[in-house]
Amino acid sequence: MIYSRILLIVGGGIAAYKACELVRLIRKAGMGVRCVVTEGGREFVTPMTLAALSENRVFTSLFDLTDETEMGHIQLSREVDLVVVCPATADLLAKMAAGIADDLATTLLLATDKPVLAVPAMNVRMWEHAATRRNVERLRGDGVVVMEPDEGEMACGEFGAGRLPEPEAILAEIHRHLPSTHSEPVEGRAEGPSLAKQVSATRQFARPLQSLPGKHIIVTAGPTYEPIDPVRYLANRSSGRQGFAIAEALAALGARVTLVAGPVSLHTPPGVTRVDVETAREMAEAVDAALPADAAILVAAVADWRAEAAPAKIKKGDRGPPALALVENPDILASLAASPQRPALLVGFAAETCDVIAHARAKLARKGCDWIVANDVSGDVMGGDANTVHLVSAEGVESWEEQPKIVVARKLADRIARALMARAARP
């Protein structure tokens, strides 16, 4: 069995509650997780909650380790593939930087020989303080991966950088920093009764790294905005998360990725070239400018129609609502399929609300692409963290169970890599 094991250290701070969702996502991605909670962390989340979610015992003190006579803290820190500190408070970061080992969490961090990922969460002033910046730089110099916090409104009422990133983003960072060869389970050490059922789902991640070097792949993501006047526009609820996750997964495999993004507020994935656009016509032009490419994955929810935008704001009047003259937008997928520079692999997405597979099959035939990835968006998929998709091709339909979008992205990236390698091997 090949799967990954995470040691999650939960620091004190209001953001500790998000550790519960992170544990759930880690387990759903098919990984084992053990939790250590600091004294401050226990003020915000109970060990019982984390134990139920992880299906493993939770440790809070050095004296929890019944085999401490055999240096249990050493074993606990080394029988995993990655150590994640979330949330990493200013105090915890300072102790890590100084090499202090005065409780179980800091002792494990000093004893581990595994990669460490720290996810900061604190007040904006604390994050910007010279001492914190100095500690972060020192940790990064020591090889610790320190994520950048999100910006936004905080529990204290202030606004700025310091919010804990969303669990989905943390999961993506975990995937990025896992070793390429996962560890075998330790014989006789239970990882939770249901984990064995999830192991088969993680076999898809046991693939060679950098399987797409030299390949150029275009990915589109997000919505398009079609202006009605200088104030209003036609749009949809696409968050861009699935497309960004796919771009990130492909870049992690060594591909040169051009991400053509509609108006979204997501961070650019590492190693990805981003082109920001707003309208469908701008997206079509950006895709055309990015050619040639070995593959194109068109995830964006492009508006089918646009209005002839008014030069000034449309005002209310006695004649009722204005009539909008709609014009059909360019069909990027169909145009790319008919292009002399058609990529070797062309993948479209279909967001449907009924008869998902039937509509996807019809779209596959109508557009002339190789695959359609179809999903039912009648629920909260748009803007949500998870997705249930059907991969439709000339060979048939493959339905995937609901998974976090980052897991869907990694699975699809693996299929893309295999398909491109198979095409390259043909005489």
End-to-end CA distance of the chain: 35
Q: Which helix (H) or strand (E) holds 218?
A: strand 216-221
29 secondary structure, DSSP code = T
What are the backbone angles phi and psi of residue 398, rounded to the nearest 5°? -120, 115
What is the distance between the alpha carbons of residues 223 and 206, in angstroms, rounded to a whole number? Answer: 33
CB 277 within 8 A of CB 287: no
What is the distance between the alpha carbons of residues 177 and 62, in angstroms, rounded to a whole number? Answer: 27
- Nearest CA to 123 among 86, 149, 84, 97? 149
- Residue 156 annotated in active site: yes
What is the distance between the alpha carbons of residues 83 and 91, in angstroms, rounded to a whole number? Answer: 18
35, 86, 156, 354: which one is catalytic? 156
Q: Is 291 helix (H, G, I), strand (E, B) or coil?
A: coil
Strand-pairing partners, residue 272, are 257
The token duo for 365 is 């035939």
Residue with tokens 């990669």: 115
Count, residues in the chain: 427
Cis omega (within 30 of 0) for bond into 223:
no
Active site residues: 156
